[in-house]
Structure 1
Amino acid sequence: MDKSLFSNHISLKNTNIDDEFWSKMQEKVRTKVIPYQYNALNDKIKNAEKSYCIDNFKKAKKVIEAQKSGITTPTYPVDKWHYDENNADKNAFHGWVFQDSDAYKWLEAVAYSLNNKWDDDLYTCACELIDLICSAQCDNGYLDTLYVINDQSKIFTNLKDFHELYCFGHLAEAAVAFYSSTKNEKLLTAALRFADLICDTFNENG
């Protein structure tokens, strides 16, 4: 591959789509699709399958706050791909094991939308979600609500099936996109802390 093709990289901030069809699609994503998806993450779409995504971050935040106060939190099984009211305690993690990634994908979409057209309300909503996500992060940088809520002793014990590194990848992508679009460093800092933990855990001398 000719590497010179990448020598004149054009930043997204220096690009603009001026097309009757695609401009309308971008505006529809900003005003309709992204808000709709946020409602889905909050389980506010009538007759839709529950996401539990935002609720899991709220539960994880409570766990972190309790542990910082010296309170021992209960543990729950980490043995399924999907959890709901029928097979898990109401205070345990609910949803698919990769559910966190939906929040990160949403934030990445917001980042690119803000880059295209600034929206104060959308930015505020994203920052509130970022605050919640960061409040669910362990002191050592670990961030995955399935294990934070259910059983922290099982962290990094099933990388093949339970998507911890997959979720981290989407966190990293969202963090970079959001920082690039807004210069807000909060999510990027959280992602870097988790990246440091991963490196410390899996380096050759670990």
Structure 2
Amino acid sequence: MRWEEAWRVVGVLDREAVYGAHRGSDPTLDELKLLRLMRWSKTVSLLENLVAVLLVLLMICPPVLLASPVELGEAVRGATMLYNVLLFMLVFMVCSTSTLALQELGYLKVLLQLPLGPEDLKKVVMAYLIHEVAPILFIPPAYAVVVAERLASIPAFFLALAYGYASISLALVASISLSMVLWKKRGLVKGLRSKLMRAFWNSL
């Protein structure tokens, strides 16, 4: 499976999620209404993500931008710590919700019944998670630019960028691990746990 196909599968999953959420309350739901609902759902989701990203940037950037030269070092350290914590928490919450939604909506069971190998499953799961956290991925470069500009240091840009994406990666690992524990307690079959975990670790 190519990545383009994995993204198309994610699009189908989004479509099914919207359809499943409205089919019970709207017996007249047709293709045209479904398209409108999908556009509305994407618009609302985009606005929510943009607001979340903006709020994070407003919390971490002003202390660095407004710090005096004497206080700049301390301001960068404090803002960077907050930056790492916020990224971890935000990605952890989004990915935990998304991975659990995959199971609750029955999508993983459907995918595992298809002729998909471990690599294919990996691509679909990772494409789905990337789709969910995509706006958050723009926070590290934005913050890194602010830090590098204030410190007048190119290495600071790459260091801040690395810290951010390291926090995101750790949050992904933690969210998948939590999902595995919860799915195990709910009696999910061993094959599904092993395939999904292997798919995730192979994707890192």
Q: TM-score of the superposition, structure 2-length normalised?
A: 0.30
More helix by share: 2
Greater relative CO, 1 or 2 (CA 8 Å, sep 6+): 2
Structure number with larger C-alpha Rg: 2
Q: TM-score of the superposition, structure 1-length normalised?
A: 0.30
